[in-house]
Amino acid sequence: MRFNLTNNLKSEKGNNNCNFNKSIQSRAGKREKNINENKLKNKRVIFNNFKNNLIKKNNNKEFSKARKRGKKNSIAYLRVTLICLFLILLTIPGAFSLGVAPGRTTLEYEQALDTEVKLSVFNSEYKQMNVEILAQGELADYITLSETHMNFSSLDHSKEFSYKIKLPKDLENKPGLHTAEIVVLESPEESGGGTYVGATVAVVSQVYVYVSCPGKCIEADLDLLEQKEGASITLIVPVINRGKLKIEEAKAVIEIYSREEKIETLETNVNSIEPKMRTELSAQWQNKKQGNYKAKVQVFYDGEKISFEKEFSIGEDIVGVKRVWVNDFVLGGIAKFRILVENKWNKDLTDVFANLIVYDAGHNEISNVKSASENIPALTEKELLAYWDTKNVEQGEYDGKLKIISQKNLAENNLVLRLNENSLEVLGVGQVIGGVEGEGIGITKILIGLVVLLLIGNIIWFIFYRRRKKKKKIKENKEVKEKK
């Protein structure tokens, strides 16, 4: 019994010791596990912080690079835009011409014995240049220039000079037309080594002196109105009496040929002509088809006769006038005619120029001006410039003729010029070709306005882009601080 009890007590004591050891081991294992989990957690936190800092650092670098790239791209875009705007300004029509006005001065012999004529030279491009002036032609030896050269700065739009003409008395024995030319020549730029570069531009002001014949003599031409297929065409023969005696009766006979075959004979009305005056003889022709024709004209006056020929075309013109207008006109100043010419042909036209002739109430020529010659590509338009000095010209209506002359074609338009104090209207036959009163808005002003608006738009866009980038950077920095 004792033996069994003792054994039982020992057994229970051993079991209790075993359970106690197991409990201690279990607690230690849990503690160690918690420590390891905390260490792992701390390591993850440290790793994540390191990773986030690295990402933010890289992001800041990329943002900085992107910002720099964006800034550079914006500046480059703005530069390209400014260059394009500058090129647009350079290509504005009518900005590249040296001009002189008037284009022609017409004098009677008595006026030209001893007189002075003033001319204006225009620097429409507003560029720095040197200009030479010279006289040439039959009457060059009798002309004295006040200036032989001029210097233009980029601020000079125009300058004036004059010439004196003093004719010999024996010229009175040579009736008819005597001419000279005042040539205004842009000097080419000199480069190193004494050579010259650049194209030479020259414009001409003509000098016409008429010496009256002692008896009766005339000057005549042929004009056509309504040169369209199937339309009734008016053929006009303007006649000027260049003699000292009155012409009692003048009439014209016009023979029309097609391919050397005479197809029509027309007779005009009869008019008388006072000395140094002009009249018009006219006839109607019912044209039936387009083509090229030749007119042989005979003008009979008081038992005398002159003959001449002129070719013309019926149908679509190769060149046409789309519009004629004058901006910022003041009577007594220089009228700048802007003539928009269209090349209707499928080939380029070279050396195209405009010739504007103005007549007074007595049909005497008071102005004859020409534009500089231009090349017009196929199926395009080009603006030509011609200048008319209206000094000593009174208000009213004046007949005019506008010729567009090229190597392939001659287009003529009869005009009426209506002058007021602050306006000049250009009217065609029964229709307004173009007119601008006062301070009109030309194509140049419109283009300059568009360029300025585009430039302002680009500046606003650039400022907006900079502010947007700045706000984005502030937002990024704020987020970084919040996360820290």
Distance (Å, whole) CA 447 – CA 454: 11
Q: In angstroms, what is the C-alpha Rg of the chain?
A: 45
Query: Residue 288 has what pLDDT?
Result: 63
Query: Residue 334 has what pLDDT?
Result: 86
CA max distance for the chain: 188
CATH architecture of 318-440: Sandwich (2.60)
Distance (Å, whole) CA 242 – CA 390: 25
Name the nearest CA neighbour of 128 among 148, 146, 150. 150
- Cβ atoms of 88 and 81 closer than 8 Å: no
Query: Residue 9 has what pLDDT?
Result: 42
Distance (Å, whole) CA 357 – CA 360: 10
Q: Encoding tokens for residue 81?
A: 């835009």
Name the nearest CA neighbour of 297 among 253, 261, 267, 260. 253
Q: Could you state, in order of their start, the residue ranges of all structural domains in the chain? A: 218-314, 318-440
On the CB side of 479, how many CA atoms lie within 13 Å of its CA? Answer: 11
Q: Is the peptide bond before 102 cis (omega within 30 degrees of 0)?
A: yes
Block means of pLDDT (10 residues each) for the chain, 484 residues, are 44 50 55 61 60 55 52 55 54 56 85 87 85 93 94 90 92 90 81 48 86 91 71 87 93 93 94 92 84 92 94 76 89 89 83 88 79 86 88 88 79 87 76 38 56 74 72 70 63
Query: Residue 6 has what pLDDT?
Result: 45
> 2-90 and 443-483 are packed helices; what angle lies between their axes, rounded to 10 degrees?
170
Distance (Å, whole) CA 285 – CA 334: 39
Query: Residue 413 has what pLDDT?
Result: 83
Q: Encoding tokens for residue 381?
A: 């338009």
Distance (Å, whole) CA 41 – CA 12: 44
Query: Residue 123 has what pLDDT?
Result: 86
Distance (Å, whole) CA 475 – CA 396: 72
Could you tell me how many residues make up the chain?
484
- For the chain, helix, strand, coil in percent to 5 are 30, 45, 25
CATH number, domain 218-314? 2.60.40.10
Q: Is the entire prediction scored with pTM above 0.75?
A: no
Query: Residue 44 has what pLDDT?
Result: 63
Same fold, 218-314 and 318-440: yes
Query: Residue 372 has what pLDDT?
Result: 82
Token match 């022609």: residue? 104
Distance (Å, whole) CA 262 – CA 265: 8
Name the nearest CA neighbour of 276 among 416, 104, 107. 107
Categorise residue 266: left if φ over 0, alpha if ψ from -120 to 50, beta otherwise.
beta
